[in-house]
Chains A and B, each alone.
Chain A
């Protein structure tokens, strides 16, 4: 299933709801494009809601790392939300929990941004 992302605003926070697979090719490219656009538009607080992402490969993980770097370089913050079990396993075994800010629910994620 091709990755789809829809963006909504909650105050000054951009929440991108993704569904599908973040894998090498179109999926990774879609993620990269959306983050790039948000950063270029000056959005500094971004949540990636991965509740409906059931699959991520090493390229997808790489794109999340790129996204993290791009947002941080623009003095912003990026949070990951609602990781599915399989995505969580990959993030865990690759030690990326030490890099990504993973939140359990949207309310907590929204509160967790620095002012």
Chain B
């Protein structure tokens, strides 16, 4: 029976936390056997998720936290990023590929997460804010038990 391995990190709402989160998750992804390109994509997706939490969720407020959780669960790597903001609805996020939005200077983060990960959803976080959940299938023949 596959077990779940989990790593949880509480990050400060600082720009430095974005790089830190990316580095942490890339290390886990490398140890889990993902190839270089997938490690890059996972790192980018996490980066965008933490940027979202930093900018929009926590409005750059230093007294708020961002909780990053990485799970190796069965055949998947699952990343949760929870903020302490007001939460958001995916349906309210404009489509950055729509003609009228192409020249917008922001608003591509969620789109990039969806492009780089296998699954993506947003739910209410434990502290009422948004929790982004993104999933990537582990490289073949690499179940979660005994890894990383």
A residues contacting B by CB (< 8 A) are 23-25, 57-59, 61-63, 65-66, 69, 86, 90, 93-96, 98-99
Closest to B111 in A: A94
SS class of chain A's interface: helix, strand, loop or mixed? helix
Number of interface residues of B (CB under 8 A): 21
Q: Is A94 a contact partner of B108 (Cβ separation < 8 A)?
A: yes
Q: Is B112 a contact partner of A65 (Cβ separation < 8 A)?
A: no
Q: Bits for B74-108, please: 1 = Cβ < 8 Å to A, else 0.
A: 00000000000000000000001100001111111
Q: Which residues of B contact A61 (CB under 8 A)?
A: 108
- Check: B15 CB closer than 8 A to any chain A CB: yes
Q: Given A24-B15, A25-B15, A98-B102, do A59 and B112 touch, yes or no (CB 8 Å)?
A: no
B residues contacting A by CB (< 8 A) are 15, 18-19, 40, 44, 47-48, 51, 96-97, 102-109, 111-112, 115
SS class of chain B's interface: helix, strand, loop or mixed? helix
Closest chain A CB from B3 CB (angstroms): 33
Q: Which residues of A contact B97 (CB under 8 A)?
A: 94-95
Q: Which residues of B contact A95 (CB under 8 A)?
A: 97, 102
A-B contact count (CB 8 A): 49
Q: Is B40 a contact partner of A86 (Cβ separation < 8 A)?
A: yes
Q: Is A59 a contact partner of B51 (Cβ separation < 8 A)?
A: yes
Sample of 8 further A-B pairs with CB below 8 A, known A25-B18, A58-B112, A93-B112: A24-B51, A57-B48, A58-B107, A58-B108, A65-B104, A86-B40, A95-B97, A99-B103
Closest chain A CB from B35 CB (angstroms): 14
